[in-house]
Structure formats: structure tokens, C-alpha cells
Amino acid sequence: MAFVSYGSTGGAHAVQPIRNSVHIAANVLWAHFKGGDVAAGLAEQVGQAKSLIDDLLWWTNALKSGRSK
């Protein structure tokens, strides 16, 4: 499960069920809407995305283990 929120810190914390998250900066979104290059901005977030996926996998395994008991 993942969430997308609108806004800065308040929006991010409102939907933050797990520790790690990926925050896409407004300038990256603006570049996307203007037809610019967003690859550099998104490349900076690869580490955050990997941490988020690790958290999701941890929760998946924890909940799976809890359901099997």
C-alpha cells in the first residue's frame, strides 16, 4: 500500500503509515507540468524509494506471519 498526498510536511505526515517515504519536491512536479526534464530530480529520490520498498516488504512479511498464526 502506498499513499499520495498533497502539500508539504502536513500532507506527508497525514498519510505516513510507515517510517520511510518519498517526497517529490514541488520544483520537480512543476518541471513535469511545463514539459521539462524531471529525470534529475527523480534520480535523487532513488534511495528514498528503496527505503520505502524495504519498509513495505518488512510490513508484508510481518502481517503475513501474523495471519498464519
pLDDT of residue 24: 82
pTM: 0.65
pLDDT of residue 58: 92
pLDDT of residue 46: 92
pLDDT of residue 53: 92
User: Residue 56 and residue 67: Cα distance in Å, rounded?
Assistant: 16
44: helix, coil or strand?
coil
User: Residue 5 and residue 42: Cα distance in Å, rounded?
Assistant: 17
Cβ count near 31 (within 10 Å): 17
**Rounded to 5 degrees, what are φ and ψ at 61?**
-70, -40
Q: Looking at residue 15, what DSSP letter applies?
A: T
What is the mean pLDDT of each successive set of 10 residues along the chain, which is 69 residues long? 71 76 84 87 89 91 84
Of 24, 69, 14, whose CA–CA distance to 45 is shortest?
Answer: 24
